[in-house]
Amino acid sequence: MSYYNTTRQKGDQLKVAWKKTKSQDNKVMEYFNIHGRATPSEVWLHFNRHENNVPITSIRRSITNLTSYNMLSKTEKKREGVYGRPEYVWTKRSEVTIWVRKQWLNLEEVIHYL
């Protein structure tokens, strides 16, 4: 999983940051394995009920990482986020995707579409 070393950490500090990122990405993926779909705000709210002070930017980074590894997919659906603005809903990437009306849909979205 990716850690973006924008603060130019080195040595042990960098190793700790990499480990923390991997752990957080795994926790975010576990959330999607259980819940199926969510916005970044919904994941963030869950984490902040169960862990201390997880920045929403870290949740967004994990979702971006998992999307780039084809583990999550961004849907066209939106829900209101914690800051009152619409956010896209992400879903756990299914093994089956189908091309419907000029877009890829996973099996759950096809069933909902029908």
Per-residue pLDDT tens listing for the chain (114 residues):
455 545 565 666 655 554 555 578 888 998 998 999 999 999 999 988 887 788 899 899 999 988 988 889 999 999 999 999 999 999 998 655 556 666 666 666 767 766
Rounded Cα–Cα distance for residues 23 and 112 (Å)? 32
Range of the domain at 82: 11-113
Question: What sign for the dihedral angle of Cα 65, 70, 71, 77?
Answer: positive
Residue type, 54: V
Number of independent structural domains in the chain: 1
Rounded Cα–Cα distance for residues 94 and 13 (Å)? 36
Rounded Cα–Cα distance for residues 20 and 95 (Å)? 28
Answer yes or no: is 3 within a domain: no
pTM confidence score? 0.66
Rounded Cα–Cα distance for residues 23 and 51 (Å)? 13
CATH number at residue 47: 1.10.10.10
